[in-house]
Amino acid sequence: MQPLTLQRLLVRCVALAGVLFVVVVVALKLGAVPVSLYGLAQDLIRFAFHRTSALSSNYSLIIFDIRLPRILLGIFVGASLAVAGTSFQALLRNPLADPYVLGVSSGAAVGAILAVIIEPHLALSPEAATLLTPLGAFLGALATIAGVYLLGRRNGGIDSNTLLLSGIITASFLSAIIIFLMNILTSRDRGGMAFWLMGDLSTPLQANLSWVIRVGFFLAAAAIYTTASDLNLLLAGEKEAMHLGVDIKRVRIVVYVAASILTGLAVSVSGTIGYVGLLVPHLMRLIFGSDHRILLPAAAFGGAIAVVLADMLARTVVAPGELPVGAMTALVGAPLFIYLLRRRMT
Amino acid sequence: MSSAAKNLATARHTDTTLSVEQVSYAYSSNPAQAPLFTLEATSLQARAGEIVAILGPNACGKSTLLKLIAGSLAPLSGRVLLDGAPTHTMTPRVRAQRIAMVQQESPLLFPSRAWEFVLQGRHPYSRTLRFESEEDITIARNALAQVGAEHLTDRWMDKISGGEKQRVILARALTQQPVLLLLDEPTLHLDIAAQVDLLDALRRLASVNRYIVVVVTHELNLAAEYADQIALLQRGRCLRVGPPSSVYQRELLEQVFQTPLTVETGPSGRPRVNVWAGPAAERS
């Protein structure tokens, strides 16, 4: 008997943070413009002590103004998707659930595109206008998960297969709507939008938006974390959990709203990146077990690591060109998914 | 550390009473239509240390009655009082501290070890994000010991036999430190030795921990052997409540179960049912 203690939790989180740090350093180093590791270390230390004026050189601009913000964005997007996926899998009792498969990402994308279409017609200040997209994405995500949940219910309980099929059908329906909406957009917006739909971290964010992303992530992830031990009990079914004192309605509302915030934020800044929310929770479960008090933070770190790595590959494999990061996660994720599926069956 | 029994017994309510007062219920798919199933007004009383068995053919309302007692269904009329408090208006947390339910096992989505599973019984006592205390661990160990499952502590739940799993599930119910223990067909899929083991454990728990035990079952003879009271249901009506000797009447049982049978007194002095040989003989 080795129950989880705060100490064991912290040791694991520190270890994962260490891995993330190494990945971030590698991602900073690699790219179309080569950067020496020594120079990078020097600059990082200076940066850490806020001596930005003393940064050596020509490539500090590349590192701190282009690569670092992009990596930070990747960290938040990856962590958001993985935490949302982990909580969906437990709450819906479905190992294949994630924001992408359930159509929640597509719903968020529809919401975001609608916001882009509506925005010129509303006389908003530029600051408010940038926040309209994540708001639209959040509402789109929330409406989709509510719809998929209702479609997936049968005889008062969630039917795994019905739910999954509803999600897949919803996703394809929403994709059709996205194509339709894209035609309304001006051709100027359309090119960027296509890349964004595949998942893309290259667009720099306005300051207020990146602020919203960070605060939103921490609030929503913290809200989901308060349900961690409830999610553990839900693995055995809703009735069982109810008899052990879980307030299922409260857990459902907290998780659906918070996971919609996470998905909405991630989609509004990076488009629909698939497989992260699906696979990272499984990999973390293989390593750390299925106790959500450790699994949720582990998934956050794992998702961050996965997206930063995927984006690093997306930036470098066809350099100086670039792939959408969503194409990269699908290229790596789909075979990995098949492998895990086969392994599970045997 | 205190002994297993002391640790798990409910010191708070050694004189617990369960009072089911004229509860009824109706299932319907559409409120405008006639209900698909009704449970007519049913009453029974039980005290700490007693085992009550709910018997009856399939679809007679046994599980509905159990859910009404558990408070997970709100009765259409009447009420279920546990120490004077209606069970269905308790908060989920308070209810889980007082009532433990052992259901027909549902598969786990992701595998977990027996000790993790048993510790879940401490959930109604934990605060958000609180990690298990030494006390929780001691309670879980004692619960496993009390049902004779210490050796299963580190095993995976999906790698143990049905009987072993049933014990671990029972141990989890004990860690809830309930006053009322409800079981829905706990002996289903168990071989006869495992059934007797489980019922012996229930008998011990009822008398040592002073639980009220209510069990839904199809096993007429085991119920007669172990229960203090029997509630006999047929098509949503409670026909009789009382000690086995008063409920096990040949005509009554034949009429309820639609099977020719005889009732005799077994070696323990309790009634025993024999089903007549014939095409239906396999069914009792």
Q: In which band, very low, low, confident or very high, does the pLDDT at B10 lie, cut at 50, 70 and 90?
A: very low
The chain-wide mean pLDDT, for chain B, equals: 85
Q: Which domain range does residue B30 map to? A: 4-247
What is residue B2's predicted lDDT score, i.e. its pLDDT?
42
Distance CA(A113)–CA(A140), nearest Å, equals: 10
8 Å CB contact of B72 and A243: yes
Residues B124 and B56 in one domain: yes
Is the pLDDT at B187 greater than 60? The verdict is yes
The reply to whether B174 touches chain A by the CB within 8 Å rule is no
Task: Choose the closest CB to A229 out of B91, B123, B140.
Answer: B123
Averaged pLDDT for residues B4-15 = 53
- Tell me the nearest-neighbour CA distance from B277 into chain A, angstroms: 40
Residues B111 and B209 in one domain: yes
Q: Worst-scoring range by mean pLDDT, A272-286, B30-44, B218-232? A: B30-44
The reply to whether B95 touches chain A by the CB within 8 Å rule is yes
| Per-residue pLDDT reduced to its tens digit, B80-137 | 999 989 999 999 899 999 999 988 766 777 778 889 889 989 999 887 667 888 888 9
What is residue A57's predicted lDDT score, i.e. its pLDDT?
59
Residues B94 and B108 in one domain: yes
Q: Which carries the bigger pLDDT value, residue B126 or residue B176? A: B176
pTM: 0.85
Nearest CA in chain B to A243: B96
Q: Worst-scoring range by mean pLDDT, B19-23, B105-109, B175-179? A: B105-109
List the 279-298 stretch of A: residues with Cβ below 8 A of B.
285, 289-291, 293
Residues B22 and B134 in one domain: yes
Highest mean pLDDT among A67-71, B139-143, B184-188 belongs to: B139-143
| Per-residue pLDDT reduced to its tens digit, B190-200 | 888 888 888 89
Q: In which band, very low, low, confident or very high, does the pLDDT at B278 lie, cut at 50, 70 and 90?
A: low
pLDDT per residue of chain A (346 residues) written in tens, 0 to 9: 777 888 889 999 999 999 999 999 888 888 766 677 777 777 777 777 766 665 555 667 777 778 888 899 999 999 999 999 999 999 888 888 889 888 999 999 999 889 888 888 887 787 778 888 889 999 999 999 999 988 888 766 677 778 888 998 999 999 999 888 888 776 656 666 777 777 888 777 777 788 888 899 999 999 999 999 899 888 888 888 888 989 888 999 999 999 999 999 999 888 889 899 999 999 999 899 888 999 999 999 999 999 999 999 988 888 777 888 888 898 888 898 888 777 764 4
Residues B280 and B163 in one domain: no
Strand, coil or helix: B134? helix
List the 115-154 stretch of B: residues with Cβ below 8 A of A.
115-117, 119-121, 123-124, 126, 128-129, 131-132, 136-137, 140-141, 153-154
Distance CA(A311)–CA(A199), nearest Å, equals: 10
What is the tally of structural domains in chain B? 2
Task: Choose the closest CB to B103 out of A93, A226, A240.
Answer: A240
Geometric angle at alpha carbon A95, from A170 and A240, rounded to 5°: 105
What is residue A336's predicted lDDT score, i.e. its pLDDT?
85
Nearest CA in chain A to B28: A155
Residue B122 with chain A: CB contacts under 8 Å = none
Q: Domain map of chain A by residue range? A: 74-345
Joined together, the tokens standing for residue B148 give 């004779």
Residues B68 and B117 in one domain: yes
Residues B27 and B46 in one domain: yes
8 Å CB contact of A245 and B93: yes
Strand, coil or helix: B93? helix
What is residue A50's predicted lDDT score, i.e. its pLDDT?
67
Averaged pLDDT for residues B154-161 = 87
Q: Which residues contact A183 (CB under 8 A, 6 or more apart)?
A: none
8 Å CB contact of B97 and A243: no
Task: Choose the closest CB to B106 out of A236, A247, A248.
Answer: A236
Q: In which band, very low, low, confident or very high, does the pLDDT at B1 lie, cut at 50, 70 and 90?
A: very low
Nearest CA in chain B to A248: B92
Q: Which CATH class is domain A74-345?
A: mainly alpha
Is the pLDDT at B41 greater than 70? The verdict is yes
The reply to whether A228 touches chain B by the CB within 8 Å rule is yes
Residue A232 with chain B: CB contacts under 8 Å = 120
Q: How many CB pairs under 8 A join A and B?
A: 88
List the 188-227 stretch of A: residues with Cβ below 8 A of B.
225-226
Task: Choose the closest CB to B126 out of A5, A90, A229.
Answer: A229
8 Å CB contact of A243 and B128: no
What is residue B214's predicted lDDT score, i.e. its pLDDT?
95
